[in-house]
Amino acid sequence: MSATIAVLPGDYIGPEIMQAGLAVLKAAAAATNFDYQLKTYPFGGAAIDATGEPLPAATLKGAQAADAILLAAIGGPKWDNATQRPEAGLLAIRKALGLFANIRPTQVLPALVPRSPLKADIVSGTDFVIVRELTSGIYFGEPRELAADHAIDTMVYQASEIERILRAGFELAQTRRNHVTVVDKANVLATSKLWRQIAAQVATDYPTVTVDYEYVDAAAMKIVQQPTHFDVIITENLFGDILSDEAATITGSLGTIPSESRGISGPSLYEPIHGSAPDIAGTGKADPLSMINSIMLMLRNSFQANATADRIAQAVAVTLAAGIMTPDLGGTATTKSMTKAIIEQITTKEAMY
């Protein structure tokens, strides 16, 4: 049966990297007989322009009905002062689909070690995953208020929300190196104190997993000082948002890192961890790898289409090893020429698969 994929291109570089990712998917699917159909919906700023809403009802309905959702990126200066912001649509789709677990891998590919801002001996071998709580915490808490003389944001966590994200992280650790780091600010925040209590209880169900605790400020330091220390980091929404951009940067570029957001059931949403990069939109400098890597993650986790994903992974590795990369990684390729090179690798008969 054909897989249905909801496609949300979004804003600024969003449509550019989505077009690149879908071209790579098309080539790999043809080479490996992966059968799929795409349904494209307006989302974010593009949807505000078209319908007045960042998440139109038809887009949500299409996303709910799909087997998986691909999102590029939304937002940008065009809507910064609008009554409705694109970012509200992003938070709304995550909440509406119950996508509470955001999985953000941080892996340094050998070809990219020299592109990292860190020294090779520190960054080599880095391979960890940030499991970020995505549908609660300060991005959703009430009360929230913006007045001329004060502003309020509220960080709220229910015990059940903490427990389910911790369990998702521990289960992931069991498939990896059995090491969890719970990142919080338990020396100050009540929500973090509750995280630690629940983490200690949950840990007893996973006796093979080693657990350690880090305050978020110290964890931010350790990510650049000793990134190989980490296997699975579990943390709340805001801390995960910040740490995952930092972690992405040590791999060479924010422009390569994908993510999966999953719920208890229903389709997962796959997206780059970065935003719409308005500063480079239209210049051909956008790195398509974050979108291509998101598509690979979708193929593996939602469709078990490992042969199709492997075909893309191999083509990307050969392309990078040949020094073909976009300016964020120090290269001179454009979004289009990089994508073309990857597609050539996928379709070439000589490639070693």
Ligand X SMILES: CC(C)CC(=O)C(=O)O
Q: Would you list which residues are annotated within the binding site for substrate?
A: 94, 104, 132, 217
Among 53, 67, 260, 287, binds ligand NAI (CB under 6 A): 287
273 near ligand X (CB under 6 A):
yes
Nearest-CB residue for ligand X? 87
Beta pairing, strands 127-133 & 101-107: antiparallel
Measured from the CB atom, the residue of 139 and 239 that comes closer to ligand X is 139
62 near ligand NAI (CB under 6 A):
no
Among 82, 84, 87, 246, binds ligand NAI (CB under 6 A): 87
Alpha-carbon distance values, 286 to 45, 112, 327, 339 (Å): 19, 17, 8, 11
Residue ranges in 212-241 that form contacts with Mg ion under rule CB under 5 A: 241
Provide, rounded to whole angstroms, the least separation between the CB of residue 138 and ligand NAI: 15
Whether residue 217 lies in the annotated active site: yes
Q: Where are the alpha helices (DSSP H) in the chain?
A: 13-32, 45-51, 57-65, 86-96, 120-123, 159-174, 190-203, 216-225, 237-250, 289-301, 306-321, 335-347
How big is the site for ligand NAI, counted in residues (CB under 6 A)? 21
Beta pairing, strands 210-215 & 179-184: parallel
342 near ligand NAI (CB under 6 A):
no
Exposed/middle/buried for residue 223 (C-beta within 10 Å: 0-12, 13-18, 19+): buried
List the structure tokens of 72: 């590029």
Whether residue 245 lies in the annotated active site: yes
Please identify which of the residues 11, 231, 241, 287 carries the catalytic annotation: 241
87 near ligand X (CB under 6 A):
yes
Provide, rounded to whole angstroms, the least separation between the CB of residue 71 and ligand NAI: 7
**Residue 245 CB partners (closer than 8 Å, separation 6+):** 254, 273, 274
End-to-end CA distance of the chain: 26
Please identify which of the residues 139, 157, 206, 270 carries the catalytic annotation: 139
Binding site for Mg ion (CB under 5 A): 241
Q: What are the catalytic residues?
A: 139, 185, 217, 241, 245
Binding site for ligand NAI (CB under 6 A): 17, 73-76, 87, 90, 254-255, 271, 274-280, 286-287, 290, 328
